[in-house]
Amino acid sequence: MNVEMNSELKTEVNLNSRYIISRFAERGFNIHPDAVKVLEGLKDKDLDLNILIDRVCRTHNGAVITPDCILNVINLMRNKTQESKPLSSGTYVTSETSERIEVKVEKDITGNSSCEGGIEDFVLHFNSRFEKLSRILKRRVKPIPIGSLSRIKPNEAEIIGIVCEVRETSSGNYLIELEDKTGRINVIATGKLREIASELLGEEVIAVSGILKGRNMIANRIVFPDIPQNGKRPNKDFAIVFTSDIHFGSNAFLENSWNVFVRWLNCEVGNEYMRELAEKVKCILVAGDIVDGVGIYPEQDKELRIIDIYGQYEEAAEHLENIPKRIKIILSPGNHDAVRQAEPQPSLPKEFASLFPKNVIHVGNPAWVDVNGIKVLIYHGRSFDDIIMKIPRLDYSNPIGAIEEILKRRHLVPIYGGRSPLAPEKEDLLVIDEVPDVIHTGHVHTYGAKYYKGVLAINSSAWQAQTEFQKKVNLNPMPGNVPVYGPNGKIHRLRFYKGS
Ligand code: D5M
Ligand code: FE
Ligand code: ZN
């Protein structure tokens, strides 16, 4: 038994020393055997070996790396990598390099769910949606209650309502049924407004100004809560990586590409520019579908490499362990994860969350996260399937089109009753009541990054090749594309998968 253990240990030590020697050789350095021993004996898990090697190479002048040189760099890093404990339930600080990174989870449903799915919950939920969105619209119009129109009989009026139904009339115009707390009215959209009306999704809150004709209103303006032009671009000296839809456990998970991505984060691949960018990464945001899950769609088991959910999260945690500890990882769930399907979704339950390394922060879906002053709204993006189906000019290859629609409506799930199940929480947390700096989504497995009215809209592709199911519905994913928000608001598109 002892002999066996020793031989196992020996193999591991040999492997490590070979690894260390070849890492230095790649950078053009010889390393003294005593210096190798120093590195092998390193017990401090918070010190990332690859970063340490990189620092040693950058600071060393001679031909041979000595033990002293290694020890100097270790001391320097130890002083800097004292990770602090969370400040409060939602604030996490790390002080690895020059700029401290502070991640605040500002808003999500975790621990605050109160809905039971009854009629009353739905009434309160839609009231909350109406209140929040009409507050925004009231900055642009002066509405009167719909119920008072028949009494006051104004020629012209402005109203705010929730869209109940939209249909094309026999004359080619559109009839929009609009409701507020006091009543309901038919709004007729003619001329140029027909196009806007044809793209109404239902359940969104809009304002209309128009002329009253009998019991109808002829619209002359339709106003969405939309976001105002946002001029500021945060000027920071760190980078944020956005990703999603990793689908650990799926047999289509692109493990090789993922591993190159992780090596890049460890500053091991890419040219000088890419390595410097990797060094600046302080935070990775993951917008859902961390694992492939179990029983998500019929006959999914045929496409799984790991068939139990616990095993899938164990694998996910193991992979995330290889990401440098200086980087905070924010995990938000999606429709393949082990949380309730109805949105908003809480963060992963403890039994899975506890498997992950210390630098992982679990949040719900959606979640508002502040990363050193950059406000990011993370949302998996399940509502995009319904939005893309409803608006013919949109398609999966341009996910930013769908993001623009949700920003325009200031609501993440503007279609109720489609493919995105809704948990009728008393407060509608799916309203985009603040203007974020970045909105980060996933789900459709395609790439997009573009500024919309000054808000950076990102859809962060996937790490799963086309599945049999996606082949059948002609969905062409663009896996391995990683948007990186670099210093000064510059967007980089990194490609880790050949052919997309
Ligand atoms: O979703 C990945 C993509 O696949 C997303 O755009 C939706 C599409 N998808 C998933 N399930 C279906 C069904 N049942 N019909 C049509 N399209 C679908 P993911 O959440 O990763 O499975
Ligand atoms: Fe997905
Ligand atoms: Zn999904």
Angle at which helix 67-80 crosses helix 33-40, to 10 degrees, equals 30
- Of 320 and 203, the one with more pLDDT: 320
Q: Which positions ≥6 away from 50 have C-beta within 8 Å?
A: 23, 266, 267, 268, 324
**Rounded distance from Cα 445 to ligand 1 centre (Å):** 9
DSSP string of 180-227, one letter each residue: ETTEEEEEEE-TTHHHHHHT--SS-EEEEEEEEETTEEEEEEEE---P
456 phi and psi angles, rounded to 5 deg: -80, 115
Rounded-to-integer distance, Cα 207 and Cα 414, Å: 15
**Rounded distance from Cα 17 to ligand 3 centre (Å):** 42
Output the 3-class SS for 345-382: ECCCCHHHHCCCCCCEEECCECEEEEECCEEEEECCCC
**Rounded distance from Cα 466 to ligand 3 centre (Å):** 13
DSSP string of 10-38, one letter each residue: HHHHHHHHHHHHHHHHHTT-EE-HHHHHH
Q: Do 325 and 281 contact (CB within 8 A), yes or no?
A: no
> Per the structure block, which two tokens stand in for 284?
């990775």
Average pLDDT over residues 261-283: 96
Q: How many other C-beta atoms can be found within 10 angstroms of the C-beta atom of residue 118? A: 10
Which residue has the CA at smallest separation from atom 21 of ligand 1? 443
Residue type, 168: E
Q: What pLDDT band is residue 466 in, cutting at 50, 70 and 90? A: very high
* Neighbour-count burial of 17, counting CB atoms closer than 10 A to its CB (0-12 exposed, 13-18 middle, 19+ buried): middle
385 lines ligand 1 (CB under 6 A): yes
**Rounded distance from Cα 442 to ligand 2 centre (Å):** 7
Rounded-to-integer distance, Cα 91 and Cα 83, Å: 13
380 lines ligand 1 (CB under 6 A): no
Instruction: Write down the pTM of the prediction.
Output: 0.81
Q: Any idea which ligand is nearest the CA of 395? A: 1
pLDDT tens digits for range 467-479? 988 888 788 999 9
Q: What pLDDT band is residue 117 in, cutting at 50, 70 and 90? A: confident
- The preferred substitution site among 390, 470, 478 for testing ligand 1, maximizing ligand atoms within 8 Å of CB, is 470
Helix (H), strand (E) at residue 422: none
pLDDT score of 92 = 54
pLDDT score of 91 = 55
Q: Which of 136, 221, 143, 121 is nearest to 410 (CA)?
A: 136
Q: Which of 390, 341, 394 is nearest to 200 (CA)?
A: 390
Which residue has the CA at smallest separation from atom 6 of ligand 1? 444
Residue type, 14: N
Q: Which of 252, 216, 315 is nearest to 497 (CA)?
A: 252
Residues of the chain with CATH 3.60.21.50: 103-111+229-495
**Rounded distance from Cα 160 to ligand 1 centre (Å):** 34
| Ion ligand 2: protein residues whose beta carbon lies under 5 Å | 245, 289
282 lines ligand 1 (CB under 6 A): no
472 lines ligand 1 (CB under 6 A): no
Rounded-to-integer distance, Cα 301 and Cα 150, Å: 59
Whether domain 138-223 has CATH 2.40.50.140: yes
- Is residue 88 over pLDDT 50? no
Q: Which of 103, 101, 129 is nearest to 368 (CA)?
A: 103
pLDDT score of 376 = 97
**∠ at Cα 303 (299, 305), nearest 5°?**
130
473 lines ligand 1 (CB under 6 A): yes
Region of residue 129 (phi > 0: left; psi between -120 and 50: alpha; otherwise: beta)? alpha
pLDDT score of 16 = 75
Q: How many other C-beta atoms can be found within 10 angstroms of the C-beta atom of residue 357? A: 14
In angstroms, the Cα distances linking 132 to 251, 318, 442 are 43, 42, 25
Q: Do 282 and 288 contact (CB within 8 A), yes or no?
A: no
pLDDT score of 398 = 94
Architecture of the 11-92 domain: Orthogonal Bundle (1.10)
> Per the structure block, which two tokens stand in for 275?
């390595």
Helix (H), strand (E) at residue 434: none
Among 203-217, 221-235, 341-355, 440-454, name the one with the lowest average pLDDT. Answer: 221-235
Which residue has the CA at smallest separation from atom 15 of ligand 1? 473
Which residue has the CA at smallest separation from atom 20 of ligand 1? 443
119 lines ligand 1 (CB under 6 A): no
- The class (CATH top level) of 103-111+229-495 is alpha beta
Q: Do 399 and 444 contact (CB within 8 A), yes or no?
A: yes
- Of 470 and 455, the one with more pLDDT: 455
Rounded-to-integer distance, Cα 48 and Cα 63, Å: 23
Rounded-to-integer distance, Cα 405 and Cα 57, Å: 49
Q: What pLDDT band is residue 404 in, cutting at 50, 70 and 90? A: very high
Residues of the chain with CATH 2.40.50.140: 138-223
Average predicted confidence (pLDDT) for the chain:
88
**Rounded distance from Cα 66 to ligand 2 centre (Å):** 48
**Rounded distance from Cα 172 to ligand 1 centre (Å):** 34
Q: Do 304 and 249 contact (CB within 8 A), yes or no?
A: yes
pLDDT tens digits for range 55-82? 776 656 666 788 877 887 777 666 543 3
420 lines ligand 1 (CB under 6 A): no
**Rounded distance from Cα 184 to ligand 3 centre (Å):** 36
- Of 299 and 383, the one with more pLDDT: 383
Q: Is the peptide bond before 414 cis (omega within 30 degrees of 0)?
A: no
Q: Do 457 and 448 contact (CB within 8 A), yes or no?
A: yes
DSSP SS3 for 242: strand
Q: How many other C-beta atoms can be found within 10 angstroms of the C-beta atom of residue 19? A: 15
